[in-house]
Structure 1
C-alpha cells in the first residue's frame, strides 16, 4: 500500500512556518495556540503571498527534496524551491532527444490530447446520466463530437494540425459549459478571470499544475521541456502537457459539482477595480478543503489494474512517462478514467 502524503496549504497572510525538530510549527499572531505537523507526513508546502517560511525550514525542505511553492493571492504561480535536482541526467537527455525528434514529439503530443479528449468525453457522459431529456441529448451530442475529435487527432500528421483539432474541441466544450452547470457563462476567460466560475476553475488548474510540477521533479524529468506545449520561457510545458489528461475529472468535475450544488457563495470571491474576480480568504480556504478531499477519491488505473487515490495519479503518470522515455514501454499511455 502506498501512503498518500499531504500537501500543506497555508493561505493566511501574517502566518509564519518554523522548523521544530522534525516538525513544522505554524504560528499566527492573532491565533494563539500550538499547531505542529510532522514533516514525514508532508510531501510539499504551498504557501500564499504574505506567508513567511523561515530559513531553517526552507533548508530542511531543500535537504529532503520537499518542494515549497509560492502563489499570489489569486493562485498565480510565483516560484518554487525543490532542493537538489534528482540526479538522472540520462533520463533528461532522453527527454531532450524525444523533444528534438519531430515524429516522436508528435506521437507523445497525440497521447496527451487523446487522454484529454477521452476524459472530457467521460465527464460529459457522466453529467448526461443525471440530466433531463433535452439537456441530456445535447450533452451526449457534445460527447459524440469529442469522440470524433479523438479520431481526427489520431490521424493528424503535424503538431499544427493536432493543435487545431485540440483547440476546436476545447472551444466547443467551453461554449457549452452552461449545459453542465446552471448559471455558468459560456466560454473560458482568464488573466484575470471575469466571473466566479472561471476564477475557481483557474484556481483548480493552478493546484493541478503544482502537483504535476512536483511529481515530474521527483522522477527526475525537466518540467520545462514539453511536447504538446513545446518549450516556452518560464512555462513548465511538460507539467502543462500531463495536466491535460487530469483537467476534466480532477478539476472540471469538482468545480462543476461545487456550482451545481450552489456551494460557491458571494463571500467566496471579490471583484477588483480592473474587473477581475479573485477568491477571498474564505473562498481559498473553502476550495482548498474541497480540493484536498477530492485528492482522496479512489479512481481505477486501467493500465496498472489497481485503484488509487487521485492525489497519487500525477506521481504515477510521471513515472510512467519516465519509463516510456527509458524505453521500458513502447508508448506513453495517459490515465483514462474507466
Structure 2
C-alpha cells in the first residue's frame, strides 16, 4: 500500500534501480546510513530538510506519479513538484473554467465551501463547549449567525468577509479550549509569533498539501478555484478544499495533542524570525497527522469505512459531478 513519506533531515535523494535512496548528510558534509524507499510504497513526499537531487530523480518521480511538497525552516509550505496531470480531461477543464468565469455558478460552489468549513467549525466548538461548561456558547451563536448569512452573500468578496469573521470568532475560542498552556494572542503567519500559531501554520500547510495530492488523482485542475482567487504560482483549488478539512484534521489534532500534553512549550524555540517547532516535536506532529489521515470512519452514504485521506478524494469527486451537471455539490460535514 502506498504511503506518504516525510523526510526531516537534510540529505541526498537519488534513484537506485526502481528504489528511492535517501542519504542523510550532516552540517559537516558527512554522509549517514542510506535509507531505501521502494517506489511502489510511496504516494508522495514531504520534504522538511535541505534536499540534494537531480533532474533524473524528478523524471523518475514524474513517471511514477509521485508529488513532492517542500517546507522551509519555519515549516512554511514553499512549493510542490507535481507530475504531469495524467487524468486531466478537456471536458472537465472547460466546465471548471465555465464555473469560475460565471459569477452565478461560481458563487454557488464558493458558498458550499464556506458552509462546509463553518459547519465543521461549529462541530468542533460544540464538542468542546460541552466539555468546558458551555463557555463557548456566545461564540457558537455568532458563528451560527454568520453561517446563516452565507447563503445570501451575492459575491465572492462578501463571502470571503463572512468567512474571515467566522475564522476570527473561531480562533478567539482557542485559548478557552486549550487552557493556560498555550496562548494564541491573535493569528500570525510568516512567521508565526508564538507556539500555537506555529502549530496552526504547520497543520494548515499539511492539510493544503494533502488536498493538493488528492486533487492530482482526479480530473480537476488545481489552479482553477472558486472561493480563493486563482493566482500565479499557487494551486488555489487546494486552498478551497482545505477550508473544509482544517477544523476536523488539523484543529482537532492540535487540541488533542496539547490537552494530552504531547506538545509542551519546551518543544518550541523563539528565534529572530519567529517561533519554530523543534525537530523532535515536529516528528511527533507529523506522525500524528499521518495517523489522522489513515484513521477511518463509517461513511453514511457508502456504508463502509473510509479514511480521512479518502474523504478528501471523495470531496473532489463530488465537485467533479457538480461541474459536469450530474449532481449538486454538497460539502462534507462531520457528524461526530
Asked if TM exceeds 0.5, the reply is yes
Structure 1 residue 122: Cα displacement: 0.6
Contact 2:258 2:264 in 1 (8 A): no
Contact 1:18 1:26 in 2 (8 A): yes
Contact 1:11 1:51 in 2 (8 A): no
Structure 2 residue aligned with 1:91: 92
Structure 1 residue aligned with 2:219: 220
Mean alpha-carbon deviation: is it higher for 212-221 or for 301-310?
A: 301-310
CA 1:327–1:304: 2 relative to 1, 3 Å: farther
Root-mean-square deviation (CA), in Å?
Answer: 2.0
Contact 1:112 1:242 in 2 (8 A): yes
Structure 1 residue 209: Cα displacement: 0.9
Structure 2 residue aligned with 1:16: 12
Structure 1 residue 304: Cα displacement: 3.7
Contact 2:15 2:57 in 1 (8 A): yes
Structure 1 residue aligned with 2:151: 154
Structure 2 residue aligned with 1:250: 249
Structure 1 residue aligned with 2:35: 35
Q: For 2:324, which of 323, 326, 332 is the aligned residue?
A: 326
CA 1:305–1:161: 2 relative to 1, 3 Å: farther
Q: Quick one: distance in 1 between partners of 2:80 and 2:43?
A: 14
Contact 2:14 2:22 in 1 (8 A): yes
Structure 2 residue aligned with 1:117: 118
Structure 1 residue 49: Cα displacement: 4.2
Structure 2 residue aligned with 1:177: 174
CA 1:37–1:197: 2 relative to 1, 3 Å: same
Contact 2:24 2:33 in 1 (8 A): no
Q: State TM-score, norm by structure 2.
A: 0.91
Q: Quick one: distance in 1 between partners of 2:320 and 2:300?
A: 18
How many aligned positions are there?
328
Structure 1 residue 265: Cα displacement: 2.9
Contact 1:225 1:237 in 2 (8 A): yes
Q: Quick one: distance in 2 between partners of 1:127 and 1:300?
A: 23
Q: Quick one: distance in 1 between partners of 2:288 and 2:84?
A: 32
Structure 1 residue 297: Cα displacement: 1.7
Structure 1 residue aligned with 2:75: 75
Q: Quick one: distance in 2 between partners of 1:71 and 1:180?
A: 28
Q: Quick one: distance in 2 between partners of 1:143 and 1:6?
A: 37
- C-alpha offsets along residues 138-164 of structure 1, whole Å, 9 cap, x if unaligned? 223322332222211122222233222
Instruction: Give structure 1 stretches of 5+ with no counterpart.
Output: none
